[in-house]
Chains A and B, each alone.
Chain A
Amino acid sequence: TQLLEQSPQFLSIQEGENLTVYCNSSSVFSSLQWYRQEPGEGPVLLVTVVTGGEVKKLKRLTFQFGDARKDSSLHITAAQPGDTGLYLCAGVNTGFQKLVFGTGTRLLVSP
């Protein structure tokens, strides 16, 4: 069974701080997706990274896929209360059926 471990599990910060969330595995993935989930709702896709070493930016969020395609990171600059939520990484293998979700990082940004 492929596993994706996220760290930290919980993160509570003040508005304006920077943070990084890590997603690690011993398995290689074809691509990796990041989702954000708010209370009472399903996860919503933020980004997909495909190429080893790829960096994608989404406003204040920066996503990186590891060179070996086994890990990824999400960096948020100047966090805002609207960034609060559960962040999930998901590893994709050829054959969409094999999407594997990480353990999740719960972020709380206080004003």
Chain B
Amino acid sequence: NAGVTQTPKFQVLKTGQSMTLQCAQDMNHEYMSWYRQDPGMGLRLIHYSVGAGITDQGEVPNGYNVSRSTTEDFPLRLLSAAPSQTSVYFCASSHLREFSYNSPLHFGNGTRLTVT
């Protein structure tokens, strides 16, 4: 039972390069999301999805694209990387509930991205 799997664990990009951060879950969770974590700022929501074919923006969506073609996968794309996107990125999933108090977010172990 792998849970939420993120790849790669580490990545260094140059400004302007593009890349895709991969996220896969094997728990049949409807809800998937991407967060970035920066010192002193907690976790900020980038994009989320409540099911295949449905995505929406979070708090800090600019510079990132997502798609959800299957229940299992939720890749995050950086089209033109900028130094401000240096961060640790977490993918998280959960069963979808109208009221989430009994549905914790399950997180992957993160991708540490550096943009030079």
Residue numbers of A with Cβ under 8 A of B are 1, 4, 6, 9, 30-31, 33, 35, 40-45, 48, 50, 88, 90, 92, 94-97, 99, 101-104
> Which B88-106 residues sit within 8 Å CB-CB of chain A?
90, 92, 94, 96-105
User: Which of B4, B31, B35, B110 is close to A96, meaning CB atoms less than 8 Å apart?
Assistant: B31
Contact A94 B99, beta carbon cutoff 8 Å: yes
Pairs A–B under 8 Å by Cβ, sample size 12: A9-B40, A35-B105, A40-B109, A42-B107, A43-B107, A45-B104, A48-B104, A90-B43, A96-B97, A97-B31, A99-B45, A103-B41
User: Assuming the A-B contacts A4-B42, A103-B41, are A42 and B4 also in contact, with contact meaning beta carbons closer than 8 angstroms in the complex?
Assistant: yes
Whether the Cβ atoms of B103 and A40 lie closer than 8 Å is no
Known contacts A1-B59, A94-B98, A99-B45; is-contact A42 B40 (Cβ 8 Å): no
Tally of chain B residues near chain A (CB < 8 A): 32
Contact A96 B107 (CB under 8 A): no
A104 vs B35: C-alpha distance when bound (angstroms): 14
Task: Name which residue of chain A comes closest to B91, CB basis.
Answer: A42
CB distance from A35 to the nearest CB of B (A): 8
Most B CB atoms within 10 A — which of A43, A48, A90? Answer: A43
Which chain B residues have a beta carbon within 8 Å of chain A's beta carbons?
Answer: 4, 31, 33, 35, 40-45, 48, 50, 56, 58-59, 90, 92, 94, 96-105, 107-110
In the complex the two chains form, is B110's CB within 8 Å of A40's CB? yes
Alpha-carbon distance A104/B97, docked complex (angstroms): 25
Contact for A43 among B43, B94, B100, B103, CB less than 8 A: B43
Residues of the A chain whose Cβ atoms lie less than 8 Å from the Cβ of B102: 48
Q: Which 6 A-B pairs have the closest CB atoms?
A: A42-B107, A45-B104, A96-B100, A101-B43, A101-B42, A31-B101
Question: Closest residue to A4 on the B side, CB-wise?
Answer: B42
Is A42 within 8 A of B90, CB to CB?
A: yes
